């Protein structure tokens, strides 16, 4: 796999434009299958997960074009309901296609998603929700087959606020002229964005962003063009890089409110932050004082997708902190890599205790185990004394566009060494 060579110790200065959100775009791509016509999603970044999702959608019979950031999906006719092509096994987001495919084709077959680098990630909440909506679900060891005779709608309480299950059940309920009420749903901005897209296409949805979403089914959706929200995890990653390296940076084209928890924390650590409508101005001396206990949880709690990046910062700040990871059971693989670079982090069950030291990081050979853990390693390497070689960086390309170019434009010393070999995993 490709590698980054990072010569650390440079402060970051300038302006960075944040790309649109991967985790908003993937479900919107899935939802485009509900439209018998063309959907255009604008400003789409070139993430490998998005390319893989496009290939899966093509395998179902939809036509796709992707040029100058405009992704057009024509789902006038679908020919297949089996989400079993090679790419479906590479990205976790293929599960999001179940709701729309069941709704459109009245059946759907998918290979059971296995565990992944960050945890087991079962889909029981998706499946029990489908059953409550009238879908007959048959599970074998390796596959799930869903057959829909008659969509019933209904009132469902999710056993936990799963992002993907909330999205799948919304998408399954949008067509069909029945009412569905979902309680205990997830409230992430990406779910609100999916609903905004569907409402723009003619769906009748209320309550998105709250605990209860009501969907009154309509008979069809119309072709539409949509620009998704900015990626709050990418924005947060740049904020954390500036916090640890020091410098003064404008983070542009974002919704600052989506990162409020992070902004409050960084201000407590000593960063200066001011927010305008679509941008954050932030500066940091690079010498942070941090004493806090962070617990990851569903939005608006602290995002699990920023857990490794903030851990990188806490290890390089002065003070003792804990992070409790409540979302994914294996999401601490980056800890051993941070410790190789000089950090002092001890993990007990799902809590990491970080004994921070502003001088701790030194260059090392380390490797990415997953997308966000990889981004965390880049932050440590940017702040470290000496040269760090980060292996397996293809993971980072799943969710960051032109990462090294954007960091380079801020003054970082980071270079990529290409390797043609490809690696697959679940997200
Ligand atoms: N869960 C179940 N049963 C289910 C569904 C979920 O037990 O049927 C559990 C999961 O195992 C996990 C927790 O519920 O412990 C939360 O999972 P959720 O379903 O909310 O996550 P997801 O939809 O699979 C999305 C993002 C993840 C992000 C999580 C949490 C996408 C494509 N993925 O995953 O993003 O971490 O929500 O916010 O939207 C990433 O971008 O790096 C990434 C992993």
The DSSP annotation for 319-346 comes to EEEEEE--S-TTTTTHHHHHHHTT--EE
Q: Which residues form ligand 1's pocket by a CB distance below 6 Å?
A: 23, 26, 92-93, 119, 121-126, 160, 162-165, 186, 304-305, 327-328, 371-372, 399, 427
Paired strand residues for 139: 144
We report the CATH number of the domain holding residue 91 as 3.65.10.10
Please confirm, yes or no, whether 116 is among the known catalytic residues: yes
Same domain, 281 and 264: yes
140's CB contacts (< 8 A; 6+ apart) are none
Which of 20, 124, 162, when mutated, tests ligand 1's pocket best, judged by the most ligand atoms within 8 Å of its CB? 162
- At 280 the pLDDT is 97
Same domain, 114 and 48: yes
Q: Whose CA is nearest to atom 36 of ligand 1?
A: 305
Q: Whose CA is nearest to atom 39 of ligand 1?
A: 23
Same domain, 176 and 254: no
Query: Which of 226, 261, 293 is the endpoint of a domain?
Result: 226
Q: Whose CA is nearest to atom 21 of ligand 1?
A: 163
Q: Whose CA is nearest to atom 10 of ligand 1?
A: 121
247's CB contacts (< 8 A; 6+ apart) are 11, 12, 13, 283, 284, 286, 410, 411
Q: Which candidate in 85, 108, 116, 360 is catalytic?
A: 116
Query: Which of 168, 196, 226 is the endpoint of a domain?
Result: 226
Same domain, 119 and 261: no
Ligand 1 atom with the shortest distance to the CA of 163: 20
Ligand 1 atom with the shortest distance to the CA of 122: 3
- At 47 the pLDDT is 87
**Residue 401 structural domain:** 3-19+230-426
Same domain, 105 and 249: no
Q: What is the pLDDT along the chain (427 residues), one digit of tens a residue?
A: 899 999 999 999 999 999 999 999 999 999 999 999 999 999 999 988 999 999 999 999 999 999 999 999 999 999 999 998 888 888 889 999 999 999 999 999 998 876 678 888 899 999 999 999 999 999 998 899 999 999 999 999 999 999 999 999 999 999 988 999 999 999 999 999 999 999 999 999 999 999 999 999 999 999 999 999 999 999 999 999 999 999 999 999 999 999 999 999 999 999 999 998 899 999 999 999 999 999 999 999 999 999 999 999 999 999 999 999 999 988 999 999 999 999 999 999 999 999 999 999 999 999 999 999 999 999 999 999 999 999 999 999 999 999 999 999 999 999 999 876 554 444 4
Same domain, 105 and 53: yes
Pairing of strands 365-367, 387-391: parallel
Ligand 1 atom with the shortest distance to the CA of 372: 42
Same domain, 264 and 131: no
Ligand 1 atom with the shortest distance to the CA of 371: 42
Same domain, 266 and 191: no
- At 426 the pLDDT is 46
**Which strand (E) or helix (H) includes residue 383?**
helix 371-383
Same domain, 93 and 14: no
- How close is the Cα of 372 to the center of ligand 1, in Å? 14
CA 234 from centroid of its chain's CA atoms: 9
Same domain, 85 and 142: yes
Same domain, 107 and 187: yes
Same domain, 248 and 216: no
Query: Which of 226, 243, 265 is the endpoint of a domain?
Result: 226
Domain count along the chain: 2
Q: Whose CA is nearest to atom 37 of ligand 1?
A: 163
Distance between CA 212 and CA 160 in Å, rounded? Answer: 13
């Amino acid at each position: 796999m490709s590698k980054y060579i990072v010569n650390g110790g440079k402060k970051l200065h300038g302006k960075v434009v944040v790309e649109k959100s991967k985790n908003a775009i993937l479900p919107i791509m899935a939802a485009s299958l509900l439209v018998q016509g063309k959907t255009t999603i604008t400003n789409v970044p070139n993430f490998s997960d998005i390319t893989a999702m496009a290939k899966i959608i093509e395998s179902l019979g939809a036509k796709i074009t992707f040029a100058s950031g405009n992704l057009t999906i024509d789902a006038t006719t679908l020919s297949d309901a089996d989400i079993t092509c090679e790419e479906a096994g590479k990205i976790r987001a293929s599960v999001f296609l179940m709701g729309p495919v069941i709704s459109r084709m009245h059946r759907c077959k998918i290979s059971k998603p296995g565990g992944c680098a960050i945890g087991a990630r079962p889909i029981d909440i998706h499946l029990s929700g489908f059953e409550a909506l009238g879908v007959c679900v048959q599970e074998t060891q390796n596959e799930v087959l869903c057959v829909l005779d008659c969509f019933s709608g209904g009132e469902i309480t999710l056993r936990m606020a799963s992002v993907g299950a909330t999205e799948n059940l919304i998408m399954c309920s949008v067509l069909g002229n029945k009412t569905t009420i979902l309680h205990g749903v997830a409230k992430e901005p990406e779910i609100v964005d999916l609903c905004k897209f569907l409402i723009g296409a003619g769906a009748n949805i209320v309550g998105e962003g709250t605990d209860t979403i009501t969907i009154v089914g309509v008979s069809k959706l119309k072709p539409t063009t949509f620009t998704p929200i900015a990626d709050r995890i990418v924005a947060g990653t740049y904020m954390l890089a500036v916090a640890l390296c020091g410098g003064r940076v404008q983070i542009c084209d974002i919704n600052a409110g989506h990162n409020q928890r992070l902004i409050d924390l960084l201000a407590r650590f000593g960063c200066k932050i001011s927010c305008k409508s679509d941008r954050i101005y932030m500066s940091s001396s690079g010498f942070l004082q941090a004493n806090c206990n962070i617990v990851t949880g569903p939005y608006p709690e602290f995002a699990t997708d920023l857990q490794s990046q903030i851990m990188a910062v806490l290890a390089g700040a002065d003070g003792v902190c804990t992070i409790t990871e409540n979302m994914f059971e294996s999401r601490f693989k980056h800890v051993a890599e941070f410790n190789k670079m000089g950090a002092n982090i001890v993990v007990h069950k799902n809590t990491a205790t970080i004994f921070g030291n502003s001088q701790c990081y030194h260059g090392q050979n380390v490797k990415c185990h997953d997308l966000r853990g990889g981004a965390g390693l880049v932050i440590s390497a940017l702040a470290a004394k000496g040269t760090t070689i980060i292996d397996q960086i293809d993971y980072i390309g799943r969710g960051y566009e032109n990462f090294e170019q954007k960091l380079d434009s801020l003054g970082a010393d980071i270079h990529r060494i290409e390797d043609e070999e490809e690696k697959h995993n679940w997200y």
